[in-house]
Structure 1
Amino acid sequence: MATVVEPLPSLPLARVRLAPHSALPRRIDGAWWPRSRDLLGELPLLIGTLPRLWGQITAVTVNTAMWPMSPGRMLVANHVVLLRRSTGPYGRHTISLLSQGRGRRELLVVPPEVDAADAEPLMAAAAAGDR
């Protein structure tokens, strides 16, 4: 009798578009379109897709209007990421990613409930970005 081995479920890929690498700083470094507002579920997928050039992400700042629930820290890929929360209108639709020694990167966050027809142009524009 043959044994049937079920394939392991694959993790969904993060929907991210990043601006091309540049030595000059940018206001927005790309865009992220999470599938939900579950930061604990979505953030590891995002961090796992970032280029090595960005370094190890050690802290993330999110806005409470976009992400209502989050602990003060979480374990991602065997390292602790500090989660900071912002309450002001600045940064409501962005996420700030900090890497020690590599600086801070800002991504536009397209709300998960936005449909693909609207999300795709926003992400493309953010990835093309201004310097």
Structure 2
Amino acid sequence: MTATIEPTIITERLPSATARLSLTPTGSVPGLLDGAWWPRSRDLLREIPTLTDALDACWGRITRVTVNPTHWPVVPRKVPVAGHTVHVGWFAAEQDPNKVILFSYTVGRLDLLVIPPETDPAAAARLMAAATPPGGTRTACGLMADEAVSHNAAESRRREEEWETDGGAASAGAAAIGISSSSPRR
């Protein structure tokens, strides 16, 4: 995927909802992630102001954000937020594609798992909980891979249950010997 870098600043602020965010408890043992963020879209111009609104009050002014452009179609260089501008950078190979890094003068650095906007609410809740244990040792890519495996296993179970409900092995065995459920028996 190719990232587009937008050098202009949009002065008009788009309306935003509250950020869907989960953070590790303050003062806890540091881990690889400081929490998780579930944006509503892949539009950084719209999502960064929402995220900084939620974090500025408790973590100090966010001044810089870095992303991996894999999941962001447009990466703006600057994003206007309440009272200041956030500079955005991107690193294709160096940064986990499922993570956003935020920098603040007071806290330093926050690493957040980015949950894709299209994720269903149950999976997003699991990922938010998995990203916030104090001293967590899981990476953003590791958490996303675990969720994909879990989702695939659940989908396989659902298909198997559906198959069994529709006749399953009995129906397949009958078809193998040439018996159709719609043909009359002789």
Task: Please give the range of the TM-score, normalised by the shorter of the 2 chains.
Answer: 0.7 to 0.9
Q: Does 1:90 align with 2:80?
A: no
Which has the larger displacement, 83-92 or 108-117?
Answer: 83-92
Look up the SS of the partner of 1:120 in the other structure. helix
Q: Does 1:32 align with 2:37?
A: yes
Indicate the residue corresponding to 2:120 in structure 1. 115
CA distance in 2, matches of 1:105, 1:70: 19
1:118–1:24: structure 2 CA closer, same or farther, 3 Å change rule? closer
Computed over aligned residues only, the root mean square deviation of the Cα atoms, in angstroms, reads 1.8
- Deviation track 1:87-127 (CA, whole Å, cap 9, x = no partner) reads 11632101000012421000000011111121110001112
> What TM-score do the two structures reach when normalised by structure 2?
0.60
CA distance in 1, matches of 2:26, 2:56: 10
CA distance in 2, matches of 1:110, 1:129: 19
Query: Among residues 44, 47, 52, which one is paired with 1:47 in the alignment?
Result: 52
Alignment size in residue pairs? 122
CA distance in 1, matches of 2:42, 2:80: 18
Amino acid aligned to 2:103: L
- Pick the structure with more strand per residue: 1
CA distance in 1, matches of 2:16, 2:123: 24
- Structure 1 unpaired stretches of 5+: 1-9
CA distance in 2, matches of 1:102, 1:117: 31
Query: Among residues 103, 125, 132, which one is paired with 1:127 in the alignment?
Result: 132
Pick the structure with greater CA Rg.
Answer: 2
- Pick the structure with more helix per residue: 2
Indicate the residue corresponding to 1:58 in structure 2. 63
Look up the SS of the partner of 1:40 in the other structure. helix
> What TM-score do the two structures reach when normalised by structure 1?
0.84
Q: Does 1:80 align with 2:85?
A: yes
Return the structure number with greater relative CO, CA threshold 8 A, min gap 6: 1
Look up the SS of the partner of 1:96 in the other structure. strand
